[in-house]
Amino acid sequence: MTIYDISEKAGVSIATVSRVLNGSRNVSEKTRKKVLDVIALYEYTPNAFARGLGLNTMKTIGIMCADSSDLYLAKAIYYIEQKLRSNGYDSLLCCTGYDLDAKASSMNLLITKKVDGIILAGSNFIYEVETENKYITDAASQIPVMLLNADLDIPNVYSVVSDDYTSMYKATLQMIQSGTEDILYFYNSASYSGKRKLSGFQDAMEKKGLDSGLARFYQGSHEDITDMTEYLKNLCRSGLKFHGVIAADDTLALAAVKYAREMHYRIPQDFTILGYNNSMLTVCCEPELTSIDNKLETLCQHLINTLLGVLAGKEMPKKTVFSGELIRRGTTR
Amino acid sequence: MTIYDISEKAGVSIATVSRVLNGSRNVSEKTRKKVLDVIALYEYTPNAFARGLGLNTMKTIGIMCADSSDLYLAKAIYYIEQKLRSNGYDSLLCCTGYDLDAKASSMNLLITKKVDGIILAGSNFIYEVETENKYITDAASQIPVMLLNADLDIPNVYSVVSDDYTSMYKATLQMIQSGTEDILYFYNSASYSGKRKLSGFQDAMEKKGLDSGLARFYQGSHEDITDMTEYLKNLCRSGLKFHGVIAADDTLALAAVKYAREMHYRIPQDFTILGYNNSMLTVCCEPELTSIDNKLETLCQHLINTLLGVLAGKEMPKKTVFSGELIRRGTTR
């Protein structure tokens, strides 16, 4: 739908339509209403306007991520960008950090740039307190918002997630069954996905009547493996006993491998370790790291397909869930 | 300047201006010329128009990189994006792959999007054959082009580089002096920076009267460490003798660590390894990897400062060179 169509259907001049769109005062209330009604009726958006004028074929999708140098998010951005490009869309990337205000401000900025849709990569954009998700609700009232590995039940928001809870639940049961019962859960994110993973671990431990309280949150840099290893050594010095580590991502798991080696545990005979994301890090250590593959490329492909469907006006699923897969290597029995 | 101004100055209706902009045939040649003359006179651009309509405020820098999931480039994008944002600029990211046509097409696309400048992250955008750099020359005739770790002497192109040649030259001499003389140079990029590193290695070997021909190019995926390790094993099976590896990046160096361990060499007593980029991978292996820090964050900071200076109309240096630094860890003596 173009400005011409609106003009025709509202029975006013193109200049009048432009004035309404620009919020100019030189339009009577009656005329304004006529134009806005047509716009509402045909779900016209300024984007379609720009496109109709051939001024700016937008075809741009905003991507928000907390930190593009995080291994998992870097990979996600890579897949998303490639798949958008192959469908003729450009990507406008905003790295927001982890602060709510910065996220809301990036969101506004992308909307100002008239992107066709916004992808929130990673689950740290969703808050438990409903009011803190207002920036997403607001955005979704204008353009579709896609969540990668997060979930929010509001209109015009679509989720594609990996079933982190079940992946972690099953993997924990397997570690217990292979003989390790004093398992430390090691994590550094309390995001939607982070909490789902933690619950999977806790529920599996409780099901087997074991202590589900051995979970420790690491607050440092997401890539400072040396510091993570120190953290584990301090836990040990403080008297904590554990012979298995289930980590919420491969970087933390790698620190556990370093810890076990420095403590002269034999892996996997005396000490077992499980990572998450099945990243390139899994083959960096010795023995190589068992890890859960959460099918990131599949998620991204599906996310883009869903977005393209929504933009084309098709009925698309609100939420799609994929299963993860345990990739066995040398750190588990 | 808005569509209203053009309409007024050309003495035609807004609808007519729109028709001209859309290339519609329902406009006489005379009218078309009138409109185009006004547009030319006032240097009107469709973007400025969009801005006038409140559709689009620019302040956007295009970033091109071959592959945003490459560890080094992911980090570069992260720094660049953060520093641009803190200066009020948005980033439009294009991952181009390694094909010249795709690079040229992304460049055109960014120019169509009316970015204020373009940053080429990584040295694989520069070609030896001058005509293949035409896409950069063309872009630079319109907006400033910034090269991160590459060098091209044409107007309106600015370079910020790490002195890879000298870093590699010095590090090779040090490995020789510490007693390893049969050194394999292991690399996977023949980019500007890749060649500079290789030359540094070769010149150091030749200076010491050693064989500088032991350089092997790895063509596989930039993150398939298992395959890289296989490659080294095959070299060994084919009769090649080497007790040191200097790698053009940390991923390749990590494969060398895995290789040495599988061959039961003691590191660093029997086998020494040097990486490049000083990435998080350096602490993933045992012993930890000696690597060259090429000061990526400093380079990115300087690149953005230079770009902001250029955009502000200041006289800025065409080329800035920083020194790398050898970070000693456990894989060298």
Task: Pick the range with the lowest mean pLDDT from A52-66, A71-85, A158-172.
Answer: A52-66
Nearest residue, CB atoms, B93 vs list A91, A112, A281: A91
Q: What is the DSSP string of B258-325?
A: HHHHHTT--TTTT-EEEEES--GGGGTSSSPPEEEE--HHHHHHHHHHHHHHHHTT----SEEEE--E
pTM of the model as a whole = 0.77
Closest alpha carbon within chain A to B74: A69
Q: Å from B57 to nearest chain A CA?
A: 7
Give the percent of chain B with pLDDT over 90: 67
Q: What is the pLDDT of residues A302-324, one digit of tens each?
A: 999 999 999 988 999 999 999 99
Q: Name the CA dihedral angle for B189, B191, B195, B201, rounded to a multiple of 10 degrees.
A: -40
Return all residues near A61 (Cβ < 8 A) that are at least 6 apart. A84, A89, A90, A91, A92, A115, A116, A117, A118, A119, A307
Q: Which residues in chain B touch residue A77, judged by CB atoms under 8 angstroms apart? A: 68-69, 93
Of A14, A50, A258, the CB nearest to B50: A50
Q: Pick B47's closest partner by Cβ from A22, A56, A75.
A: A56
Residues 6+ apart with CB under 8 A from B230: none
8 Å CB contact of A54 and B261: no
A-chain residue closest to B2, CA distance: A18
Cβ-proximal residues to A173 (8 Å cutoff; 6+ apart), any chain: A204, A207, A208
The C-alpha of A314 sits at a distance from chain B's nearest C-alpha, in angstroms, of 26
Is the model's pLDDT at A4 over the cut of 90? Answer: no
Asked if B14's CB is within 8 angstroms of A113's CB, the reply is no
| B100 touches B156 (CB < 8 A) | no
Contact B93 A81 (CB under 8 A): yes
- pLDDT value at B49 more than 60: no
pLDDT at B53: 38
Q: Check A56 against B53: CB less than 8 A apart.
A: no
Give the per-residue pLDDT at A259. 97
Q: Measured at the alpha carbon of residue B58, what is the angle toward residues A144 and B148, in degrees to the nearest 5?
A: 100
Phi/psi region, residue A207 (left: phi>0; alpha: psi -120 to 50; beta: rest), is: alpha
Pick from A81, A225, A280: CB nearest B95:
A81
pLDDT category at A54 given cuts 50, 70, 90 is very low
Nearest to A78 among B57, B68, B280 (CB): B68
CB contacts < 8 Å between A and B, how many?
Answer: 141
Decide if B281 and A284 are in contact by the 8 Å CB cutoff.
yes
Q: What is the pLDDT of residue B71?
A: 87
Q: Which backbone phi and psi does B246 adopt, to 5 degrees? A: -110, 120
Question: Which tens digit of pLDDT belongs to each residue from A81-111?
Answer: 999 989 989 888 888 888 899 899 889 888 8
Q: Is the pLDDT of residue B50 over 50?
A: no
Summarize pLDDT for A244-256 with one digit per residue, the tens.
999 999 999 999 9
Residues of A in contact with B258 (CB under 8 A): 283, 286
Tell me, what's the ipTM? 0.70
CB contact under 8 A, A15 and B18: no
Chain B nearest C-alpha distance from A19 (Å):
10
- B162/B301 Cα distance (integer angstroms): 13
Among chain B residues, CA nearest to A52? B22
Half-sphere exposure of A101 (CA within 13 A, CB side): 0
Candidates A85, A257, A282, A284, partner chain B, best to mutate (most B CBs within 10 A): A284
Q: Which of A8, A59, A90, A109 to mutate to test the interface with B (most CBs of B within 10 A)?
A: A90
| Section A228-256 average pLDDT | 97
Question: Closest-CA residue in chain A for B65?
Answer: A78
Q: Is the pLDDT of residue A155 over 70?
A: yes
pLDDT band (50, 70, 90) for residue A50: very low
Q: For residue A112, how many other CB atoms are within 10 A of its CB?
A: 13
- Residues of chain A neighbouring B54 (CB-CB closer than 8 A): 22
Least confident of A70-74, A80-84, B19-23: B19-23
Q: Which of A113, A142, A229 to mutate to test the interface with B (most CBs of B within 10 A)?
A: A113
CA distance A96 to chain B (A): 9
Q: How close is the nearest chain A Cα to the Cα of B97, in Å? A: 9
CB contact under 8 A, A75 and B91: no
Rounded average pLDDT over A109-124:
90
Residue type, B261: R
Classify residue B159 by burial, with Cβ atoms within 10 Å: 0-12, 13-18, 19+.
buried
pLDDT at B44 over 60: no
The nearest CA of chain A is from the CA of B106 a distance in Å of 10
More confident residue, A3 or B184: B184
**Residue of chain A with shortest Cα separation from B83:** A95
Q: Which token pair is B287? A: 């012993």
pLDDT of residue B42: 61
Mean pLDDT across chain A, nearest whole number? 89
From the candidates B21, B27, B53, which should be mutated to test the interface with A, based on the most A CB atoms within 10 A?
A: B53
